Amino acid sequence: MSLSRPLTRAWCQAALPATRRNASTQASKKNGPLSGITVVSLEQAIAAPFCTRQLADLGARVIKVERPVVGDFARNYDTRVNGLASHFVWTNRSKESLALDVKKPRDHKVLMRLLEKADVLVQNLAPGASTRLGLSHEDLKAANPSLIVCNISGYGPDGPYRDKKAYDLLIQSEAGMLSVTGTGKEPAKVGISIADISAGCYAYSNILAALIQRDKDPKKLGCNIDISMLESMVEWMGFPMYYTFENAPGPTPAGASHAAIYPYGPFEASDGAVMLGIQNEREWANFCDKVLQKSDLATDARFVNNSLRSQNRDELKAIICDVFSTLPSEQVIARLDEASIANASVNDMQGVWKHPQLQARGRWTEIQTPKGTVPALYPPGMTHDAVGGFSARMDAVPDVGEHNAAILAELGMDETK
């Protein structure tokens, strides 16, 4: 499938089995668990928008406050989705766009009116900007004691790094991620915005917890939440940190292989790479017997346990690749499946678009954007219809300021004044 055009409605429908296709088109949607919750977000880039999109998936009303005309700068990262930015389409469906210059008194007044009745404020503005705008929890709680304020920043609201700018690559570097990726010749960043994503996920889960806690509180008081990209990323670095406990040497960057388990990673067949992983000695014996068809290798003194296999990985890799190089990847995978060895194809993005498992499970739908219809994946854990639960909210990606007139009318304010 070419990326020169988006997936069509026919493709999305064809991806569903007939029974699910009918259920998807006929089922009436149930309100999500966050229906009735209003989130106001001064957001940009990825971390905060990914957090609030997940809240919108669950039915929350999300009002995205953007700069007039230009909007969130992530709108201009690229033009890959019918002229829209790929990051923006991914993280901003099901939201309302309100274009405000919050430094101007009239627009600031609009924002404050919104916050008087909102349930949640999310912001990831530059360090110090929200405080200067009077958007701290301390400033806002008098007018709205139930308001939950979630601040997402690079390093947190205090400490020596408080005022440093933070981008995904920089946080990956500070958190030690670059020390465990790549091949050892030079550092390599993770190919997606993993620091932003981790912060967005922790903001999302903390907001959900705060809403539950507020519901239990007799006074229905809100709270303040501070999410640091650095702390979020370091939490995800738990394994390599404990691996280096008490000054032990760190894991050696191993490309797509595992630093401590072997064989685990990509191995070349005659027509491309196959990914596999051996987790225990039973699997190792099966691998030698049924996949490599070298049963004696299982008791070779160089490879009798994982530590030795990892230590002698270059010798073992040569043996594995010598066998795999004579076989097409399809045959290698068939042998691995027969031996109950975990394996995977090494997909590019086109392979993911067409992944048979996603199609078989009916995980694709479509959403509207200012540039037409595009495919979208249902959020993990959410059904494609209302049977046995609630439907994921999959509404349009908004244009800049698309909802100004409607929101201002709700507030009893004239758009022209």
- Summarised one tens digit per residue, pLDDT across range 157-179 is 999 999 898 999 999 999 999 98
The chain-wide mean pLDDT, for the chain, equals: 89
Q: What CATH number has the domain bearing residue 187?
A: 3.40.50.10540
Confidence of residue 211 (pLDDT cuts 50, 70, 90): very high
Please say whether the beta carbons of 47 and 199 come within 8 A. Answer: yes
Residue 311's CATH number: 3.30.1540.10
Domain match, 328 and 390 both: no
CA distance 210 to 216: 10
pLDDT band at residue 22 using 50, 70 and 90 as cut-offs = very low
Are 335 and 279 spatial neighbours (Cβ–Cβ below 8 Å)? no
Is the residue at 245 inside a domain?
Answer: no
Helix-strand-coil percent breakdown of the chain, rounded to 5?
40, 15, 45
153 and 217 in a common domain:
yes
Residue 352 lies in a domain: no
Does residue 87 sit within a domain? Answer: yes
Domain co-membership, 78 together with 218? yes
Please check whether residue 255 lies inside any domain of the structure: no
Reported as a single tens digit per residue, the pLDDT across 276-334 is 999 999 999 999 999 999 999 999 999 999 999 999 999 999 999 999 999 999 999 99
If asked whether residues 324 and 399 sit together in one domain, one would say no
Total number of domains in the chain: 2
pLDDT at position 409 is 94
Give 11-74 as a DSSP string: HHHHTS-HHHHHHHHHPPPPPPTTTT-EEEEE--TTHHHHHHHHHHHTT-EEEEEE-TTT-SGG
Structural domain contains residue 165:
yes
Bigger pLDDT: 104 vs 30 = 104
Task: Tell me which DSSP letter residue 178 carries.
Answer: G
Average pLDDT over residues 260-273: 91
What are the pLDDT digits (tens) for 113-151?
A: 999 999 999 999 988 899 999 999 999 999 999 999 999
Question: Is the domain of 76 the same as that of 118?
Answer: yes
| Vertex 34: Cα angle to 209 and 45 (nearest 5) | 75
Tell me, yes or no, whether 270 and 225 share the same domain. Answer: no
Res 24 pLDDT > 50: no
Same domain? 207 vs 107? yes
Sign of CA dihedral 202, 204, 208, 214: positive
Domain range for 217: 28-238+383-410
- Asked if the structure places residue 247 within a domain, the reply is no
Q: How far apart are CA 99 and CA 93, in angstroms?
A: 16
| 293, 319, 346 - which closes a domain | 346
Q: Are strands 272-277 and 224-228 parallel, antiparallel or unpaired?
A: unpaired
Contacting residues for 20 by C-beta, under 8 A, at least 6 apart = 362, 384, 385
Task: Answer yes or no: do 225 and 97 share one domain.
Answer: yes
In a domain, 357, yes or no: no
